[in-house]
Chain A
């Protein structure tokens, strides 16, 4: 597609349920990122995938959070046993890879997660 696509755009769930958020990056982009934006906060880095390298998971807030990237393209962010503090907008971005290049990250519109 032309841009980064995220689904669903909105998700309402009950506390304790698991949720899956999906990200389709821009075709040809080898790097993929997940961020979280809580109310009144900046974008918080969660996880980074680059090609076949081991992902950088240093931003994941707890072991309830996990992410996969299948076939070097689509990524799924899974939150298990959701808590109310998980309510936020989850943003995915992609870019051309390369550690040294100052690659611009292109963002999707995000998934707004509400945990009741």
Chain B
């Protein structure tokens, strides 16, 4: 049972345009969400997070939107740069399963074309 789903395994975007990565979840108890970025042969690195009390969090070129009623979050990257090419994972945690226990999606591979 995949509680966190990233239905697009890959995405290609032109440099300078917006990249939108999507993530859906099924557990309504999730209250904290994160995005991680992973380059080949490296571990995932934290990118941005959002608490369920918010619907938007922005950090530079990266913005995460949370729609609790739809159980959907998205990561927007504007403008996209070639260095953004990586695999992006969304993750979620809940108070009931332990705030430390992140449930990860399967990832979306973003390719930004120069």
Contacts and interface: CB of A to CB of B under 8 A. Distances in A.
B71 to A, nearest CB: 17
Interface residues of A, number: 29
Interface string B46-90: 100101000000000000000000000000000000000000010
A91 B36 CA distance: 14
Interface in A14-43: 31, 33, 35, 40-43
Interface in B94-114: 98-107
Interface in B20-53: 32, 34, 36, 41-46, 49, 51
Given A40-B106, A42-B106, A102-B51, A48 B43 contact: no
Interface of A: 4, 31, 33, 35, 40-45, 48, 50, 56, 59, 91, 93, 95, 99-110
